[in-house]
Each structure stands twice: as structure tokens, then as C-alpha cells.
Amino acid sequence: MKKFYVLSLLCLASGLVSAQDVIYRCGNEYTNNVSQAKAKGCKPVDGSGVTVIHGTRPSGGNAPAAAAKPKPASSSASSAPAPARSDNAAQKARDSDARAILQGELNKAQARLSELKAEYNDGNPVRTALELRNPQGYPERVAKLKADITRQESDIAGIRRELDRLPAVN
């Protein structure tokens, strides 16, 4: 009897502990701190729990700090900083690599488009053996081919826009 009494007290205590873990929602933030929740006027969340996934921080925060540093006075006005030249060469190399990759993607997309257009045959693709036995599959395949051609043309236009954004190769 004593064991049953102790066991029931333990179950009751564990239920109270989990009942104290109320989660409050304050706009887009969640907290389990009761005093903070009351101060902000947060509402309790119904349900089993909340999963929060933290995003990444933007890496652009370093640029203003670098610009705020005072530059040391140079004894010679004609000397150019060496890192700027290496950065410029590295940037040109990256741009060249990006252009080569995009050009390769453009060539693949254009080849795929020509294949799709040949198969589409101006809206009259050749019927397959399966489509001769099941005529319903033919209009579905024609619609899919048309949608694929439209998507491929859109992809080609996007790749060309990206190529136009890159600086010209000297």
C-alpha cells in the first residue's frame, strides 16, 4: 500500500512539473519565463511544444567596421595597395568561372529545348505504342511537353539575364 501511495505521489509530482512548463508567445518570440511573459502581455501557447530553428546571421556586418577604421597616412601617393590588385585579379577569375558555368548551363538548356521541340513536333508528337492502345495518355503527354518547353524557355531567359549581369570579359 505504501509503494502504491509513493508511486501515485511521484506520478502527480511529475505531472505538476510538466504543467509548470507553460510556453508563452510574444509576437514571433517564445518564452517560458512567466515574469517576462506577463510584462510583455504574452499569450500561452496551446499544444505539446514549440520547435524554434534559428536562422543564420548575415555576413555583411563586417563592411561598415572596415570602412570606419582610419587609414594610415602613406609616404608615397603613387604606390597602390597590393591587396587591391590581388582582389581584383581574384574577382576577375571568379567572374570568368561564373561566366563559364553559366555558359555551360545555357548550352545544356538550349540542347534540351531543341530536343523537346523536336519531340513536340509543333503540337503533333508521334504516338507511342502505349498511346495507341490508351488514347487518353496522348493529350496528357502533349500538355506535359508544352509545359516543359515553356519552362525550358523561361530557364534559358533566366540564364541569359544572369550572363548579362556579369561584367564583360576583357
pLDDT value for 44: 85
Looking at the DSSP assignment, which residues form a beta bridge with residue 29?
26
Q: Mean pLDDT, the chain, as a whole number? A: 78
Sheet strand arrangement including 43-44: 29-31, 24-26, 43-44
Say what angle helices 82-120 and 137-165 make with each other, to 10 degrees: 160
Question: Which segment of 14-23, 31-40, 120-129 scores lowest on mean pLDDT?
Answer: 14-23
Report, as an integer, the average pLDDT of 137-144. 92
Q: Looking at per-residue confidence, does 116 or 57 come out higher?
A: 116
Q: 44 - beta bridge partners?
A: 24
pLDDT at 163: 93
- Looking at residue 168, its pLDDT comes to 81
pLDDT at 10 over 50: yes
